[in-house]
Amino acid sequence: MKVKTILVSQPEPKVENSPYFELEERQRVKIDFVPFIHVEGVESKEVRNQKIDLSNFTAIILTSRNAVDHFFRIAEEMRFKVPDSLKYFCQSEAVAYYLQKYVVYRKRKIYVGKRTFDDLSPLIKKYKGEKFLLPSSDQLKPAVPKMLDDLKVNWKQAVFYKTVVSDLSDLRDVFYDVLVFFSPSGIKSLFENFPDFQQNKTRIAVFGNSTIKAAESHGLVCNIQAPTPETPSMTMALKKYIDQVNKK
């Protein structure tokens, strides 16, 4: 079956040159974006119940823009003045640059990884004497605490925000040729919203091994997978598949 419609389970890209828009134009397909999950901040009272005192920490590990937003939100709600001496360990340049929304970048001690959490390991190890706070969601990858424990640093996790299933009732009677997923949470949202979902002729595109496992555990057939050596991005994987089936 040819592909004419695609639903991506994420917010619509804000950049004009997104490869999704190029894919839509060149392949002549319709792509819709609907986030299957969203983030909600926890209340400062809930953070206090986790026995978190922000003044006890000398460094903070930031893995995402959400972590940045919710750290400063909680600090404000707790009326905690973030000290200039606080060290920021950011998973990527994108996260580090996002800090400029809250602090004067050049006046802070900011350490930046290349892309993954593992990239931060040498930097954190270099400052083992610090007391690290890891503001995170309620769904933290097990590899993160394991790495920090292996480094034998003084650290503590705090749940500042939660991943919540979105209401998808508007999609109940809508059919797409391809559904695109990027996390097990997206698969979870699909079946929480539509417990009786049947794949039938719908093609499922998945990004990452954990997403593949989640999809298959629900009996879904993964027709499109990324990343692979040939298709490192989801848009490349979609293009390759569309090229194959739309030429028939």
> pLDDT by residue (tens digit) across 3-44?
999 999 999 998 888 999 999 999 999 999 999 999 999 999
Cβ neighbours of residue 34 closer than 8 Å, sequence gap 6 or more? 7, 8, 9, 166, 168, 171
Integer angstrom CA distances of residue 181 from 4, 134, 152, 219: 18, 27, 35, 15
Overall size of the chain counted in residues = 248
| Number of domains the chain is built from | 2
Q: Which domain holds residue 130?
A: 40-163
Per-state percent for the chain, helix, strand, coil, to nearest 5: 40, 25, 40
Mean pLDDT of the chain: 94
Burial class of 219 by CB neighbour count within 10 A (0 to 12, 13 to 18, 19+): exposed
Tokens of residue 15, six digits? 């950049």
**Residue 198 and residue 130 share a domain:** no
pLDDT exceeds cutoff 80 at 115: no
The pLDDT value recorded for residue 20 is 97
Tokens 């920090």 locate to: 148
Is there a domain that residue 69 lies in? yes
Residue 231 lies in a domain: no
Residue 104 confidence (pLDDT): 83
Among positive and negative, which fits the CA dihedral 113, 114, 115, 117?
A: negative
The predicted model gives 209-227 an average pLDDT of 96
Q: Report the CATH number that the domain containing residue 141 is assigned in CATH.
A: 3.40.50.10090
If asked whether residues 52 and 138 sit together in one domain, one would say yes
Most confident of 93-107, 137-151, 190-204: 190-204
Does 185 lie in the same domain as 156?
no
pLDDT for residue 248: 64
Residue pair 69/85 in contact (Cβ under 8 Å)? The answer is: no
Q: What is the mean pLDDT of residues 173-177?
A: 95
Does position 85 have pLDDT exceeding 90, yes or no?
yes
> pLDDT confidence of 105, banded at 50, 70, 90?
confident
Instruction: Please check whether residue 228 lies inside any domain of the structure.
Output: no
Question: Coil, strand or helix: which one is 212?
Answer: helix
Report the pLDDT averaged over residues 57-63: 96
Domain presence at residue 133? yes
Is the domain of 138 the same as that of 95?
A: yes
Which of 163, 186, 210 terminates a domain? The answer is 163
Could you say which DSSP state residue 14 is in? S
Whether 130 has a pLDDT exceeding 80, the answer reads: yes
Domain end: 163, 196, 213, which one? Answer: 163
Cα–Cα–Cα angle for 49, 149, 110, rounded to 5 degrees: 80
Question: Do 132 and 112 lie in a common domain?
Answer: yes
- φ/ψ of 6, rounded to 5, equals -135, 135
Q: How does 187-212 read in b/e, with b if 16+ C-beta sit within 10 Å? A: bbbbeebeeeeeeeebbbbbbbeebb
Binned at pLDDT 50, 70 and 90, residue 140 comes out as confident
Cβ neighbors of 42 (< 8 A, separation 6 or more) are 159, 160, 161, 162
Please report which confidence band the pLDDT of residue 106 belongs to, taking 50, 70 and 90 as the band edges: confident
- Across the range 44-48, mean pLDDT stands at 95
Q: Copy the structure tokens of residue 76.
A: 């404000």
Query: Could you give the CA distance from residue 155 to residue 12 in angstroms, rounded to a whole number?
Result: 35
pLDDT attached to residue 133: 98
Residue 73 lies in a domain: yes
On whether the CB atoms of residues 76 and 82 are closer than 8 A, the answer is no
**pTM for this model (two decimals):** 0.79
Instruction: Examine residue 79 and state whether it is found in any structural domain, yes or no.
Output: yes
Q: Using the predicted structure, report yes or no on whether residue 169 has a pLDDT greater than 90.
A: yes
Q: Are residues 16 and 113 in the same domain?
A: no
Let me know whether 157 and 214 are in one domain. no
Is 230 within the bounds of a domain? no
